[in-house]
């Protein structure tokens, strides 16, 4: 198992505000979470609704250590919505669901601390 020690790394190279604005991070709500037994590392296949402007998108997320499938549906999450789709084994991941590594290197999802309209953009 790979343990992520990103909390021990210095800040990344400085970027401009315009660089930041190129990354489109939106809030969505998970509408389904399915097992993904074909994945190299334990993962779920998520469908996340980002509202009418973006719609429902698929994401493969390695979050099985900290989340049960049943608790994910209805949960708000943040994701990068403007990366090109990426093939993950037999599945296509259309957005990058965001999280941080806990002490064990497992993903903890990133989300607002109170509900916001789906499709809202991080700024």
What number does CATH give the domain 16-109? 2.40.50.140
Residue 7: pLDDT above 90? no
Domain positions in the chain: 16-109
75, 111 contact by CB (below 8 A): yes
- CA 54 to CA 78: how far, in whole Å? 13
61: buried, middle or exposed (CB in 10 Å: 19+, 13-18, 0-12)? buried
Rounded Cα distance, 86 and 43, in Å:
15
Note the pTM of the prediction, 2 decimals: 0.91
Q: What is the pLDDT of residues 70-120, one digit of tens each?
A: 999 999 999 999 999 999 989 999 999 999 999 999 999 999 999 999 999
Nearest to 28 by CA among 71, 67, 72: 72
The average pLDDT across 31-39 equals 95
Who's near 72: CB < 8 A, 6+ residues apart? Answer: 30, 33, 44, 46, 63
**Per-residue pLDDT, 9:** 84
pLDDT of residue 3: 54
């Amino acid at each position: 198992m790979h343990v992520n020690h990103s909390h021990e790394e210095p800040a990344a190279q400085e970027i401009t505000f315009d660089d930041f604005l190129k990354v489109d991070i939106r809030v969505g709500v998970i509408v389904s979470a399915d097992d993904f037994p074909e994945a190299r590392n334990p993962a779920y296949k998520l469908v996340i609704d980002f509202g009418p402007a973006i719609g429902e998108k698929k994401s493969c997320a390695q979050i099985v250590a900290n989340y049960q499938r049943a608790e994910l549906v209805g949960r708000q999450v943040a994701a990068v919505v403007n990366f090109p789709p990426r093939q993950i084994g037999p599945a296509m991941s259309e957005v990058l669901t965001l999280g941080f590594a806990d002490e064990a290197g497992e993903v903890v999802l990133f989300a607002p601390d109170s509900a916001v309209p789906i499709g809202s953009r991080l700024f």
